[in-house]
Structure 1
Amino acid sequence: MVDDSQLASYAKAYAEDGYVLVKGVLDKAEAKAYREESHALIERLNRDYDPTWESARQLGMGQNTELKHCHDAQFYAAAFARLIVDPRFTDVAAAVMGTPNVQLHHTKLFVKPPEKGSPFPMHQDYPFFPHTNDSMGAAIFHFDDAPLEKGCVRVVPGSHKQGPLQHAPEGSWHLPFSEWPLEKAVPCEAEAGDVLFFTYLTVHGSGINASSKARTTLLVQYRDPADPPTTDLHTGSLGQGMILRGIDPTSRAAATG
């Protein structure tokens, strides 16, 4: 378990920079097992759909690249259900939000294939699911190493303090390429077992996986259950509203006892 002083350090970095990379949340054996579980799931689903953004292709970042992914991974394999309630994750999520309660918004499993794994242009997650108090955050579990050549996540430290930024029209969801070039952002190179936490206002993106090995991650979007959404966008994910830590103080059962 992470001690209180370490949690306070993570919370401070998250508040100041808009992100924090937490090392070794999973040990190497656990990360390897989740990697194998992830690739087995993707193979079972055998879907043709490619979620590469059109904006990446338009910019030339995503030409001849591809992504493999699955929404709501915890509904396909119990291993992911156990992972999203693991205190090693939920305690950090609670600390960085400053609330004892952590609620699930959704999960996404991503595999960037070797040599052609698609990139993501720079963006905030805010436009996809705006919330009243901006508690929404993301945690990216790394199931294998994510060096620069694998298209690791890149962030702009402190960008969350600018608040919501103007993005391209719906369907593209990216920031102006000239103002927010991917190559100017800070690479968050990670090792298997590391988890990157960031706010949904933090500007981020990722490059092409040009390496000879896949990059495998699980994205968990979390929020304070007392922070309601301001729109109906992205409300259809399975399991949305599940309490991962603490309680839901807004529920009728919690209010009435």
Structure 2
Amino acid sequence: MTTLSTPRTDLDALADTYDEQGYVLVKGLLTPEEAAEYRARSHELIASLDRKDDPTWEAAASVAMGQKTSLQHLHDAQFYDAAYTRLLTDPRFTDVAAAVLRTPDVQLHHTKMFIKPPENGSPFPAHQDHPFFPHTHHRVAAAIFHFDDAPEVKGCVRIAPGSHREGPREHSEEGGFHLPDFPMDQLEPMEAEAGDVLFFTYLTVHSSGVNVSDEARTTWLVQFRDPADPPLTTQHDHSLGQGLMLAGSDPTGRAGTA
């Protein structure tokens, strides 16, 4: 598993690793205290909104501890709490985001908060993010902020190193876009600690397991892109905040549009 000690580590080396492996796990981007604060805010926010919808993919539905798995989520938490807005433009994050995109210009696509409940938190099947919002030059990436520890028992993210180099793959649309025949032994667990951030390209095959522990797993997913990379579809035009510049500027004049 490829990791870097801090987000200030040689950014060129970080970008080289990302290009080669399709991901990089940055240790300690947030302090443990910051991660704990965001964890508390995330759980309070979800509870205050009384969210009842469950985003578990049909293709990932399974049973753990004798119960059907479940998942809690919230799109675009930055519209509910300014703390997430500040995190989106935190240089510790945007410096790494710019490095992996190899451009000073970093544009938001969308964000999602996920809480995997204890004992039966839903998994995600193997997939690429590309089918959901394909772009012309594939300069689109994700960052998963870990607000609490994510060992394998809590259903941590799994990554297939180097899988991005084969480009877009044909996904099954039954039960959600996924890769039912992808070899499971190629997916490596990305165990993380509170404060770590996992960056990966939207062409990297990834999944996650069931949380069978006695604690929730809390993450925040930020999808970002090079604003100079034109989208190929409009199915995500509704994403709140899409087009917001997190670093640099939009050279295309398309700010606020897909």
* Pairwise TM-score range, normalised by the shorter structure: over 0.9
5 Å-filtered alignment, 1:71-82, equals 71-82=75-86
| Match of residue 117 from structure 1 | 121
1:70 is aligned to: 74
Give the structure 1 partner of residue 237 of structure 2: 235
Hey, what does 1:41 align to over in structure 2? 45
- 1:180 maps to which of 180, 183, 187: 183
Contact 1:11–1:96 at 8 Å: present in 2 too? yes
Structure-2 residue corresponding to 1:156: 160
CA distance in structure 2 between the aligned counterparts of 1:6 and 1:69, rounded to whole angstroms: 34
Q: Distance in 2 between matches of 1:61 and 1:199?
A: 30
One-letter amino acid of the structure 1 residue matched with residue 192 of structure 2:
A
Any runs of at least 4 consecutive aligned residues in structure 1 with deviations exceeding 3 A, and if so which?
Answer: 60-63
Q: Any conservation in 2 of the 1:122–1:180 contact (CA below 8 Å)? A: no
Q: Does 1:54 align with 2:58?
A: yes
Give, in whole Å, the separation in 1 of the partners of 2:134 and 2:222.
Answer: 16
**Partner secondary structure for residue 86 of structure 2:** helix
Tell me the SS of whatever aligns to 2:10. Answer: helix
- Find the aligned partners of 2:13 and 2:114 in 1 and give their Cα distance: 29
Mapped partners of 2:243, 2:182: distance in 1: 35
Task: In structure 2, give the amino acid aligned to 1:111.
Answer: I
How many angstroms apart in 1 are the aligned matches of 2:174 and 2:119? 29
Q: Determine the C-alpha separation between the residues in 1 that align with 2:24 and 2:13.
A: 9
Amino acid at match of 2:223: Q
Q: Cα distance, 1:184 vs. partner?
A: 4.2
Deviation at 1:208, TM superposition (A): 0.3
- Tell me the secondary structure at the aligned position of residue 12 of structure 1: helix
SS at match of 2:78: helix
Aligned counterparts of 1:202 and 1:109: Cα–Cα separation in 2: 20
Provide the rounded CA distance (Å) in 2 between the counterparts of 1:188 and 1:82. 26
Shift in Å, 1:179? 3.0
Distance in 1 of aligned mates of 2:161 and 2:83: 32
Give the TM-score normalised by the residue count of structure 2.
0.92
- In 1, the alpha carbon distance for the partners of 2:117 and 2:16 equals 35
Compute the displacement of 1:171 (Å). 5.0
1:166-224 per-residue CA deviation (whole Å, 9 max, x = no partner) reads 10126510002x3332x541000000000000000000000000000000000000000
Structure 2 match to 1:245: 247
TM-score w.r.t. the length of structure 1 is 0.93
Give 5+ residue unaligned stretches, structure 2: 1-5
Aligned residue pairs, count: 248
